[in-house]
Amino acid sequence: MKKIVVTCLVCFLLIGQVFFMSAATHDIASGLPRSDVELAIELETFSNLDVNVVNYTERSSVELGGQLRGIASQVESLHLMAVEEIASINSSVELNPEGLPITLELLVIGDEITYLYTITEGESAIVYLFEPNIQSISEAELNAKAIDPFVSHEKNDMNYCIHEQSGTGARYGFGIMGVPGLCNGPCARHTPDPIPSGIGIRLPMQRSGNRLNFSVLTSGASTRPPRNRTGTEIGASYLYGGFISTMGNQTIISDMGIMHQRLEGTNQFAWRPYFSVSHGSSQHLPPTTIQGQVWGRNGFVLGSTINIEVRIDHPSATVSRVRLEASGTAYHQTAQGTGARTFLTHIAFRDFNRINTPTNWRVLATSAIPSNMADSNIVTAFVSGHFNNIRVDGALPVFLHTDRDFGFAVNNGNGNWFLQTCKGLGIYF
C-alpha cells in the first residue's frame, strides 16, 4: 500500500480533482447532491485512483478537516477491496453466467462516518459520506427479536398451523390450509405472537459457525408490502437470515438479507439489501438518506435469485466484523435508473467488540411494520422465497420447528426450504 501524505487541508489518493460538497440541501430523487456553494479543496495526486468523494454528512468540508487523513485511508482501502471483488467476480462464470457488466457497492458503517463506495465497470467510482444511523431499541424489542429458537411456539390445535409439508409433492403449498379469495393464512395466527411487529415465518436452525450462506429465489410481481384497511403501505416485506449470539454480557442479533421497496420516484418495486445489527439499546442500520445503486432508482430484479452471505470475521483478538454480501441481477447501471441490467454485488459491514461464535441461526420471510403498531393493522401482505442450499460454515445445520404468524413452510430437503407469508390476498404461489 502506498504511503499516504496529507498536507494543507487534505491530500487524497485520487487523480484529477475531487470535490467535497455542502450537505445543506440534497436532490434525493436524482441521486445527486446539490448546494449553493461548492467547496473545491486543494489536492495532491499520489495515486492513480479515479474517485469522486461527496459529503452527505451534517458537517461541512472544513469541519471534516480533522478527519481527512482517516477518510483518505478509508477511500484507498475501499478502492483496493473493490478491485479485488471485481476481479473475483470476473473469474467466476457461476456468479455472473450472463456476463453482465459488474456493479459493486461497499458500505462501511462506522462510528463517526459511514462510507458508501459505488462503481460500475468502465466508470469512475463515487464515495458518499454519511452520518452513522444508530437507532434506539428497547430491551423488550431486543428480547422479542431473540425469541428462544429451541422453544416451539406451535400448539397441538388445528386452529394453529401445525403441519409442516415435506418434499416437493405439496407443490410449495398452493392453497394448503388457506381459504381461496381470503388468504387468512395460509396459516392462522399464533398466540403468543412469535413474529413481533409484523407477520411472517421464521425457520430457526442450530449449528456452531461464523458464516451463513443461501440463495433465495424471490417472489416477483405478486409481492405486496403490508397495507392497512385504507390500502396505505405501513411497512415492507423482507427475506433475510441472521444469527443470535452474545457480545460480552449482551445479546447481539443480526437481520441481514433483502427488502422489497419501491424505487425512488416510481411505482416500480425491487429487492434491496438490508443490514441490521442490534445489541443492548442500539440498532445499527444504513443511512436514511442513502444514495447509490440500490437505494435510488435501482435494485435487484423481482422474481430473480439473489445470493446471500451473513458472516462474522475477526480482524483482531478484540474485534468482530459483521458482514453482509448480496449479489444478483439489478435493473440498471446507475442509481438514477439508467443503463441496462448489471450483475450487482453489495457488501456491507460494521465492526463490533468480540462476538462469540453463534450456534443459533435463522432465515425468515416477513412483512414488518413499526414497533408502535399492532399487527392487526396489517390487512393485506404477501412475500415468499425459495431459500436454497442453506449452509452454516459450509455444512447443513439442524432445522428446528418454524415459528409462524400467517406463514407457511415446505421442507424440500438438503437445506432447501420454501417460506411464504400471506394475508388477505388469496395468493398461493
Domain boundary among the residues 109, 131, 153 is at: 131
On whether both 177 and 291 belong to a single domain, the answer is yes
Please provide the DSSP assignment of 36-65 as one string: SSEEE------S---EEEEE-SSS-TTGGG
Give Cβ neighbours of residue 204 (< 8 Å, ≥ 6 apart): 149, 150, 360, 361, 362, 399, 400, 401, 402, 403
In sequence order, what are the beta bridge partners of 421? 383, 407
Say whether both 278 and 206 belong to one domain.
yes
> Same domain for 145 and 125?
no
Residue found by looking up cell 425457520 in the block: 203
Read off the pLDDT of residues 245-282 as tens digits, 9 standing for 90 and up: 999 999 999 999 999 988 777 788 999 999 999 988 88
Does 33 share its domain with 180?
no
Domain match, 61 and 172 both: no
Contact between 233 and 368 under an 8 Å Cβ cutoff? The reply is: no
Answer with the one of 111, 131, 151 that is the final residue of a domain: 131
> Would you say residue 6 lies in a domain?
no
Same domain (yes/no): 40, 127: yes
Instruction: Give domain status of residue 7, yes or no.
Output: no
Task: Read off the pLDDT of residues 105-147 as tens digits, 9 standing for 90 and up.
Answer: 999 998 888 998 988 887 788 888 888 887 777 666 666 666 5
Q: What is the mean pLDDT of residues 92-103?
A: 83
Whether residue 104 is contained in a domain is answered as yes
- Indicate whether 45 and 170 sit together in one domain: no
Same-domain check for residues 69 and 115: yes
Residues 36 and 169 in one domain: no
167 and 127, same structural domain?
no
Residue at 429 is within a domain: no
Contact 126, 33 (CB under 8 A): no
Residue 408, domain member (yes or no): yes
Q: Number of folded domains in the chain?
A: 2
Query: Is 155's pLDDT higher than 60?
Result: no
- For residue 302, the one-letter residue type is L
The residue segments making up the domain with residue 339 are 135-423
Q: Which of 131, 153, 173 is the last residue of a domain?
A: 131
pLDDT tops 80 at residue 28: no
Give pLDDT, residue 335.
Answer: 58
Question: What tens digit of pLDDT does each residue of 272-329 get?
Answer: 999 999 988 888 887 765 443 344 677 899 999 999 999 999 999 999 999 999 999 9
214/347 same-domain check: yes
Residue 262 lies in a domain: yes
The answer on 182 and 113 residing in a single domain is no
136-146 residue pLDDT tens? 776 666 666 66
Residue 414 lies in a domain: yes
Q: How distant, in Å, are the alpha carbons of 125, 195, 261, 370, 395 from that of 374? A: 43, 12, 21, 9, 38
Contact indicator for 85, 92 with CB cutoff of 8 Å: no
Q: Lowest mean pLDDT of 50-64, 338-352, 392-406, name the range.
A: 50-64
